[in-house]
Chains A and B, each alone.
Chain A
Amino acid sequence: KAGVTQTPRYLIKTRGQQVTLSCSPISGHRSVSWYQQTPGQGLQFLFEYFSETQRNKGNFPGRFSGRQFSNSRSEMNVSTLELGDSALYLCASMASGRLHEQFFGPGTRLTVL
């Protein structure tokens, strides 16, 4: 069974630009969560989607948004990039009925110049 995949793996953008990251969950998993990892703030929850609906949201500005498609694939978007958005963005998927058992992808490393 294939694991969680994230594309692209690396990304370099400049301030003010926007970026879209993609996550494909494990087949059959309907929940996708996103986390941001930085050296200063550690691992922080961004949001979670289940069946195309945002079910939970962390404390991030509105520049951070996401969506989920009918095939459970998810995208997150960051608009008007700031230097502080440089981070490793991790996606996790979870099966219905398997609460709390999240499996993470390899992450997308975003660098904002």
Chain B
Amino acid sequence: AQKVTQAQTEISVVEKEDVTLDCVYETRDTTYYLFWYKQPPSGELVFLIRRNSFDEQNEISGRYSWNFQKSTSSFNFTITASQVVDSAVYFCALSGTVDTDKLIFGTGTRLQVFP
């Protein structure tokens, strides 16, 4: 069975602090995809990143960076120098090779960034 665990329910930080959101996944597929989405108060899920299981290179996009480690089945997301606008719920998700269009979501981590 596929599963995504986001153990951190809520994180509060002060602006300019760095924050890391954890994501641990379970799958028996050898090929799979991992995602991060941001959900601001408006409700729309905003796509942040997609990673396939064969690409373990870390990725950096501006203040965002992602650390993918197959050995620990983790795909963690770090926001550097957080800003108030980063306040949202962040979801990690997984899709496999069979049901490729079905995303399995974690329970989300609510990030609050205070000025």
Interface flags, B28-71, vs A, CB<8A=1, else 0: 00000101010000111111001000000000000000000000
Q: Are B42 and A106 interface neighbours, CB within 8 A?
A: yes
Nearest A-chain residue to B6, judged by Cβ = A42
- Identify which of residues 71-103 in chain A touch chain B, using a CB-to-CB cut-off of 8 Å: 88, 90, 92, 94, 99-103
CB distance from A30 to the nearest CB of B (A): 11
B residues in contact with A102, CB < 8 Å: 47, 101, 103
Known A42-B107, A42-B108, A43-B91; contact A31-B45, beta-carbon cutoff 8 A: no
Q: Are A101 and B50 interface neighbours, CB within 8 A?
A: yes
CB distance from B12 to the nearest CB of A (A): 19
A103 to B50, CA, bound (A): 12
Number of A-B contacts (CB under 8 A): 58
Interface size on B, residues (CB 8 A): 23
Q: Is B100 an interface residue (CB 8 A)?
A: yes
A12 to B12, CA, bound (A): 33
- Report the contact-size class of chain A (Cβ under 8 Å from the partner): 20 to 34
Nearest B-chain residue to A88, judged by Cβ = B43
Nearest B-chain residue to A105, judged by Cβ = B44
Q: Most chain-A Cβ atoms within 10 A of its Cβ — which of B35, B93, B103, B104?
A: B103
Secondary structure type dominating chain A contacts: strand
Known A45-B102, A48-B102, A101-B50; contact A90-B35, beta-carbon cutoff 8 A: no
Q: Is A107 an interface residue (CB 8 A)?
A: yes
Q: Is A56 an interface residue (CB 8 A)?
A: yes
Q: Most chain-A Cβ atoms within 10 A of its Cβ — which of B46, B50, B102, B104?
A: B102
A residues in contact with B45, CB < 8 Å: 90, 92, 104
Q: Which of A44, A48, A90, A107 contacts B101 (CB 8 A)?
A: A48
A82 to B105, CA, bound (A): 24
A107 to B35, CA, bound (A): 19
Which B residues lie at the A interface, using CB under 8 A?
33, 35, 37, 42-47, 50, 91, 93, 95, 99-108
Which A residues lie at the B interface, using CB under 8 A?
31, 33, 35, 42-45, 48, 50, 55-56, 58, 88, 90, 92, 94, 99-107, 109
